[in-house]
Structure 1
Amino acid sequence: MSFSKRYLTINAIAENKAKEYAKAEKATLEHYGEDVFNAKAIREYLPKKSAEKLLNTINNRALLDPEIAADVAHGMKQWAIERGATHFTHWFQPLTGSTAEKHDSFLDIEGENAIFAFSAKNLIVGEPDASSFPSGGLRRTFEARGYTAWDPTSPAFIKRHTNGATLCIPTAFCSYTGEALDKKTPLLRSIQCLSLSTQRLMKCFGLKEEKVTITLGAEQEYFLIDKRFYLHRSDLLQTGRTLFGATPPKHQQLEDHYFGSIHQRVLYFMNEVEHELWRLGVPAKTRHNEVAPGQFELAPMFEDLNLAVDHNMLIMDTLRLIADRHGFVCLLHEKPFAGVNGSGKHNNWSINYGDINLLNPGNNPQQNAVFLTVLSGIIRAVDSHADMLRATVAHAGNDHRLGANEAPPAIISIYLGDQLNEVIENIEKGENNSKHKAGVMQIGVDTLPNLPKDATDRNRTSPFAFTGNKFEFRAPGSSQSCSGLMTVLNTIVADSFDYISEQLESHIGNEEAFNNALQKVLKDIIKTHKRVIFNGDGYTDEWKDEAARRGLPNAVNTMDALRSLVNDKNINLFGKYGVYSKKELQSRFEVFLEEYHRKIRIEGEVALNIVRNNILPAVIEEFKTELSAVKSATDAGITVGVDALKRNVELLGKGLEDLTEKTEKMEKAVTGLHEEILEAMAELREVVDRLEKIVSDTLWPLPKYREMLFIK
């Protein structure tokens, strides 16, 4: 064949491949959102007027017209049945931190005929048993009634399973007496209060009223391990983390896993996860290897906050479901393996006013003024309520992660970067020493230095970092819902925006007086609250000392952090905005406190069982084997190597004594306080991990880190 003919043949093959790829891409995109009752489905399955009213509620937060409920229920039922659904459920987020659902079939009997039916009442309200969910005293055991209420701003979706499908309707969950028993209800309240406060602040600048959209992009970290190892680790089965396990010689220290080539088996898993999420309308965008071996990350695109929170719960469910199909188990615990990176959930948060991202530095005096006002309001909010932000990420799993080498410390601070920090300092001083522009920096008159979109470096040690056009809250743990922390962030920022508005509103219409008032309020805020700004290394002991000198709170564990939920300052603030009542805050304090105690006690008892039933017998068997070898050699008159055998026996004997001592301490601790349990577990683990290195693999009863962390 001539070169020209070969060239034509290669070209033809390439063109065919390109067509195949394009066809596959089109098919994939056509499936995007097909399992979501979205705007397209609403227009197709609802009468035109009903569709318009529902879309107005979804897009503009208008009140839902109850007269369209029957049309919505009928259209939603038809849509779901066509996709194989036989049941429906009100999908909600109780205080357990996970999701809940009770399935009812569409089946109904009409005369002698079986039909599928779904009424407006079925859509709008449900009545699950509230007594068995944690309520912190809001509901007693004999007070079982609770209600789920349809949230039309988060679209219904189809959850597929092996032999069918279920229509899932996102809902809020409240008690018979009206208190929120879930995480969604306060979130929706906080979105409303921040929207109103933002509109009030923007009115001060003479901007016309626009829709406020709070956005979130939640980066989800997780581990994958082979299911066969998981099933042989009762600690993973019952607590989500390894209570024992020696760090292997090689783990993450070569930094070769981060952003490395993705293992083919993992890639198959990731592909299926993404396609499942795309069908559910979840815009999964980024996937990569994380720092630790066996650790990965999935990041979606930014979305409306309420939807993003729901989608993150779906992401966690989908990761677990698809992992099982591939022979994996997805671990979402914050620290499933000691000695390597834990997993977080980085919450990227911003506020849009119409088409404007309020956290984007502007290019003219008014935009600059708005940006710096919003930024100053957030600085005030975080400093004034750092204790409450810390409380939102307080969790037994997160206690193992915060302050470690991959997570920010428990001290809440803000990272702005050098360039933006210089601007803030100049506002406080009332001058401009920037190399970018000389003279006095007068807000609303002079322009800022040109700040590019990414005007800051990244600071992995900061809990709350400005990253160009958003803030990244890095403290949340991977298993936690985004709802609680976003609820708090929205509310405290709303309070700061209202504080600023109060200082400015009397000067609206007088440009000079307004700019002077703005200059003063921002200067005062920065002077009072700049202590929360820290651009250095948050891991150092020097920062802990410096933070203490600044008076920043440092709640090092969950118990210390949770107390903030019930102090008068926070009760008054959240009551003022109607986000949490006093009873609701007290209930959450009780629920989270009880959850913490229970988890620690479960871990202690599991650790004790593993040692008693697995570790101790293995060590005794190894001890007997070594002792038998010494006796056999001595009886045979062999002297060479006997001393080495004796040293091994003594080493095992010492380990056996230590293990017995620490086990006895653990037995006493599990009946006591959580501090005693944690201390006893740490001491027991030190002994077990030491013994793991000297007991033979054939006898050691637990899969080891070197086996579990490296996927084959």
Structure 2
Amino acid sequence: MSEELEVKDCKNDVIDLFGSKVFNITVMRKRLPKHIYKSMMSTIKEDTPLDENVAEVVANAMKDWALEQGATHFTHWFQPMTGITAEKHDAFISPTEEGKVIMEFSGKELIKGEPDASSFPSGGLRATFEARGYTAWDPTSFAFVKGTTLYIPTTFISYSGEILDKKTPLLRSMKVISDEAIRILRLFGKTDVKKVTTTVGAEQEYFLIERDMYKKRKDLILTGRTLFGSKAPKGQEKEDHYFGRIRGRVCHFMRDVDRELWELGIPSKTRHNEVAPAQHELAPVFSTSNLATDNNQLIMETLQRVAFRHDLQCLLHEKPFAGVNGSGKHNNWALSTDTGENLLNPGKTPSENLQFLTFLVAVIEAVDRYPELLRCTVASAGNDHRLGANEAPPAIVSIFLGDQLTPALKSLETGKPVEEAKDLVMDLGVDAVPNFIVDATDRNRTSPFAFTGNKFEFRMLGSNQSIAGPNIALNTMVAEVLGEFADKLEAADDFKTALIDLLRESLKEHKRVVFNGNNYSEEWVEEAERRGLPNLKATPDAFATYCEPKNVELFDKHGIYTHGELDARQEIHFEDYSKTLNIEALTMLTMAKREILPAVLDYTKDLADILTQKKALGDFIDATAEETVLQNVSKLSGSLVKKVEILDKTVIEAQGIEDVQEQARFYQNKVIEAMESLRATADELETMVGEKYWPFPIYEDLLFYV
């Protein structure tokens, strides 16, 4: 395979390719009657209710278009609380009396589906015998064809109306923040704004390894990460992989990923090598929160599917390899109006931009009031390996504002003018290189929630997590603060005076969450504790706070979740944490018993045989090497057996605990400790046992390939 992309494969057909598999606005405009198209646009852009008669016409046009794309089936595509997507495919065929079939698709089939609701996580909301659930079409997210199936994005609820998915609350949160933001904008005289949309750009990190190597590692297959493995002689310490030349094989893979995503209307924009060896990143252009969430699920699926075709394996676990950086997903979040205004754009003079400052301060207050909630949205067994490991933000939620906004807020708080950071011209002293404007503020890559010019970048997400949860929380908690602001300001006699007083009071109370320094430092951990900021280091610590009264009140007030639905999600997350660690522990036991220990014993036997043969020749033969290695390996193998026994007993004890929170705590405090102890011994043995004996590929094999 050529190191460079072939010219014939890079022909400029992207414009025609983009969105060619999507039933988007362009397709609707061509295929729908004018009054139907107008009604659909009203639903998509203004959230007006969808008429059933409109749905019938749309369904027929959608079916005809899908058949032309090669589709034979349709599916209601939804996002249950597994964190991934679900689909059940139905053929368009309908039998006739003559023994033939016709291709049909009704408005009823478009609007509603009935998947089994008892086999997905429900946290006790549904009993096994209560199987009926419903999927409902989301017209604001475009249908698309993938393979031979028409995919219809939908929500998912139970027969009795409980939310069983991630899309329904996301759509609700988008409506809530739009309503509250519009109230604020009305006070600033923006009467032409009808809708405010949260937009998201989710940067996706991932690893690529040889598929043949992957198939030889049970831990990667069953858990997504390596449960054993000592560090390779070379890791990321030379910093030569980040933004380095993309290898030809990987570049071919990235090309195919881009083309498939472009067909689906996903604006994949950026691709590059990440910090760790074999690690890469893909970043799309911003989309509305619900589209970005759908798109990110398709991005993860496409990465894995295309990797398979290239004899590669895409790893989306947050920490597949110890000792090198794990993978995250940066959630770039912003607010935009239907008139094209970015509400988080500070303008040239932020200290004088009261509208911007209002939204900025609202975000600051929201993050300070609900840090535990934000932490919960990124909590998982996998992400616990990554957060705070000098590669990702710590578990402490704080905000970075930088040199441009900090003076503006100080001016607001004190009422005194402060010199603001200005754009500077960078002159490299080389005549041929043009001068350019330097941004007024630097970036802080250590901050979990950083302002980056005209948006906030929430950097705590793990690479395989759905972005729905964090955006549900962000939208709702910011909406809550905006609503409180609006309540006070709408009743004020003097809007400007009341606004400045309100913002000053909010800043005074909540500025503790702002930190512009190094979030990786121990000094910050100590400082955060003095400020009273929570440091929820592990998933069970985080989810113990999930159903605190303030969170229940927040979601219930805005109609996002009921108390019962929140309790259910807490239970699901505790169970998921325990199940993940249980699978990892059982996989470790299997590998240790059936692979590592037999390999070590084979090596020990051969060593012993050599030692015996040498000693039989007499004392003049030096057998020091065999004696020393045999003694060390034998000691470690004995330790390995004991640690296997300890982990085995600990897992059995954990499995017997019925209370989900107590069980998660036991896995956190006892099972992980036993797993780490077993791994330490096995990893030391890996460095001593001959290469031909070791039963599976080591880090050198996995991370460094041609």
Q: CA shift at 1:333, angstroms? A: 0.3
Q: CA shift at 1:24, angstroms? A: 5.5
- Out of 607, 612, 617, the residue aligned to residue 626 of structure 1 is 607
Structure 1 equivalent of residue 40 of structure 2: 54
**In 1, distance between residues paired with 2:472 and 2:9?**
43
Deviates more, 1:69-78 or 1:111-120: 111-120
Q: CA shift at 1:216, angstroms? A: 0.4
Structure 1 equivalent of residue 360 of structure 2: 375
Q: Deviations over 1:581-624 (max 9, x none)?
A: 11111110011111111111110010001000000011111111
- Out of 77, 80, 94, the residue aligned to residue 66 of structure 2 is 80
Q: Is the 8 A contact 2:74 2:152 kept in 1?
A: yes
Structure 1 equivalent of residue 129 of structure 2: 142
Structure 2 equivalent of residue 8 of structure 1: none
- Structure 1: gaps spanning 5 or more residues: 1-19, 438-451
Deviates more, 1:558-567 or 1:215-224: 558-567
Query: How does 1:184-583 map onto structure 2 within 5 Å?
Result: 184-210=167-193, 211-353=195-337, 354-363=339-348, 368-434=353-419, 454-507=439-492, 513-583=494-564
**In 2, distance between residues paired with 1:48 and 1:22?**
40
Q: CA shift at 1:432, angstroms? A: 2.5
Q: Is the 8 A contact 2:350 2:405 kept in 1?
A: no
Q: CA shift at 1:364, angstroms? A: 6.7
Q: CA shift at 1:425, angstroms? A: 2.2
Q: Deviations over 1:84-108 (max 9, x none)?
A: 1000000000000000000000010
Q: Deviations over 1:363-392 (max 9, x none)?
A: 478970001111000000000000000000
Q: CA shift at 1:322, angstroms? A: 0.3
**In 1, distance between residues paired with 2:620 and 2:142?**
78
User: TM (normalized to structure 2)?
Assistant: 0.93
Q: Deviations over 1:153-190 (max 9, x none)?
A: 00000111xxxx10000000001111110000000000
Q: Is the 8 A contact 2:476 2:558 kept in 1?
A: yes
Q: Is the 8 A contact 1:359 1:374 kept in 2?
A: yes
Q: Deviations over 1:492-530 (max 9, x none)?
A: 0001111111221123xx6xx222211111111111001
- Structure 2: gaps spanning 5 or more residues: 1-5, 423-436, 655-665
DSSP 3-state at the match of 1:565: coil
Deviates more, 1:652-661 or 1:239-248: 652-661
Q: Which runs of 4+ in 1 moved over 3 A?
A: 20-26, 363-367, 452-455, 638-641
**In 2, distance between residues paired with 1:561 and 1:413?**
15
DSSP 3-state at the match of 1:360: coil
DSSP 3-state at the match of 1:356: coil
**In 2, distance between residues paired with 1:377 and 1:458?**
21
Structure 2 equivalent of residue 97 of structure 1: 83
**In 1, distance between residues paired with 2:209 and 2:559?**
44
Q: CA shift at 1:639, angstroms? A: 3.6
**In 1, distance between residues paired with 2:241 and 2:625?**
39
Structure 1 equivalent of residue 683 of structure 2: 689
Q: Is the 8 A contact 2:176 2:476 kept in 1?
A: yes
User: TM (normalized to structure 1)?
Assistant: 0.92
Which amino acid letter does the alignment assign opposite residue 541 of structure 1? E
Which amino acid letter does the alignment assign opposite residue 659 of structure 1? L
Change in CA separation of 1:23 and 1:313 when aligned onto 2, cut-off 3 Å: closer
**In 1, distance between residues paired with 2:420 and 2:465?**
44
Q: Deviations over 1:420-463 (max 9, x none)?
A: 112212322222243679xxxxxxxxxxxxxx994321111111
**In 2, distance between residues paired with 1:382 and 1:93?**
26
**In 2, distance between residues paired with 1:296 and 1:708?**
15
**In 1, distance between residues paired with 2:51 and 2:108?**
14
Change in CA separation of 1:688 and 1:594 when aligned onto 2, cut-off 3 Å: same
Which amino acid letter does the alignment assign opposite residue 470 of structure 2? L
- Out of 674, 689, 693, the residue aligned to residue 680 of structure 1 is 674
Change in CA separation of 1:453 and 1:502 when aligned onto 2, cut-off 3 Å: farther
DSSP 3-state at the match of 2:634: helix
Q: Is the 8 A contact 2:404 2:420 kept in 1?
A: no
**In 2, distance between residues paired with 1:276 and 1:270?**
10
Q: Is the 8 A contact 2:350 2:408 kept in 1?
A: no
- Out of 19, 26, 40, the residue aligned to residue 26 of structure 2 is 40
DSSP 3-state at the match of 1:104: strand
1:662 matched to 2:662? The reply is: no
1:643 matched to 2:643? The reply is: no
DSSP 3-state at the match of 1:147: strand
Change in CA separation of 1:479 and 1:370 when aligned onto 2, cut-off 3 Å: same
DSSP 3-state at the match of 2:269: strand
Change in CA separation of 1:505 and 1:366 when aligned onto 2, cut-off 3 Å: farther
**In 2, distance between residues paired with 1:374 and 1:87?**
45
Q: Is the 8 A contact 1:90 1:168 kept in 2?
A: yes
Change in CA separation of 1:569 and 1:23 when aligned onto 2, cut-off 3 Å: closer
- Out of 684, 687, 703, the residue aligned to residue 709 of structure 1 is 703
Q: Is the 8 A contact 1:415 1:535 kept in 2?
A: yes
1:126 matched to 2:113? The reply is: yes
How many percent identity over aligned positions?
Answer: 52
